[in-house]
Structure 1
Amino acid sequence: MADIRSLDAFRKASKKKAAAGKSLCLNGHHRWATDTSTRFDSQQGKLVTRSVCQRCGHSRVTSQ
């Protein structure tokens, strides 16, 4: 007898699941988190912090 397999792997993801979180970032509402791998950078003599969006991976650098 043939094995019974689930078809979930072959089904196309719904549009709602595929776009989850992306529409927020496209409209400028990122979820920023501080990147701890590059802690102490300096740019023009000022301490800078690198932030990365948790949803889309976009990064920004802010000086303090």
Structure 2
Amino acid sequence: MADILPFRKPRASDKHRGKTLCRHNHHQWKIDKKTVFDNKRGCLVTRFHCLRCGKVKTRPL
């Protein structure tokens, strides 16, 4: 059997679900433990990434 495709266009609220908070700087930050040393600064850093939009920020220790 074939896959059934939806014929209805997705609503704007479904398409932008969870991203409106990030537009108003209410990100959901999670610590990324892969990168702990920044060669450009020469120090240890904590790297955060947003679970919703994927934005990355770094903070020195």
Q: Same fold (TM over 0.5)?
A: yes
Alignment equivalent of 1:16, drawn from 13, 17, 23: 13
What TM-score does the superposition give when structure 2 sets the normalisation length? 0.77
Q: Mind listing any 5+ residue stretches in structure 1 that lack a counterpart?
A: none
For residues 41 and 34 of structure 1, what CA distance do their matches in structure 2 show?
Answer: 14
Q: Corresponding residue for 2:28? A: 31
Q: Mind listing any 5+ residue stretches in structure 2 that lack a counterpart?
A: none
Q: Corresponding residue for 1:6? A: 4
* Bigger Cα Rg: 1
Q: How many residues align?
A: 59
Q: What residue identity is the alignment partner of 2:4? A: S
Root-mean-square deviation (Å): 2.2
Q: Corresponding residue for 2:37? A: 41
Detail structure 1 runs of 4+ shifted over 4 Å in the superposition. none
- The 3-state SS of whatever aligns with 2:10 is coil
